[in-house]
Amino acid sequence: MKQYAGIDVSLEYSSVCVVDADGRIVREAKILSEPDALIAWFGAHGAMMERIGQPTRRMPAALCS
């Protein structure tokens, strides 16, 4: 089943929402805005994401290092 994720990054916490191909919410969470926390959350989810999207602004750059 194809799944897609959106991440709304903030200074302290990021909101994550995973939906299926029909747009139904599969999972939602508020996670620390740190690369290791996001990697652990997606790893525990157990499904490969077809795509992951995030807003384009300066703050998310820290997650890509």
- Render pLDDT for 2-59 as a digit per residue (tens, 0 to 9): 999 999 888 899 999 999 999 999 999 999 999 999 889 988 987 778 787 777 666 5
Domain residue extents for the chain: 3-54
**What is the Cα–Cα distance from 38 to 42, expressed in whole angstroms?**
6
**Among candidate residues 18, 32, 17, the one with its CA nearest the CA of residue 62:** 32
pLDDT at 30: 97
What is residue 28's three-state secondary structure? strand
pLDDT at 17: 93
**What is the Cα–Cα distance from 49 to 17, expressed in whole angstroms?**
11
Q: Is 38 exposed, middle or buried (0-12, 13-18, 19+ CB in 10 A)?
A: buried
Superfamily of chain region 3-54: 2-keto-3-deoxy-galactonokinase, substrate binding domain (3.30.420.300)
**What is the Cα–Cα distance from 64 to 62, expressed in whole angstroms?**
6
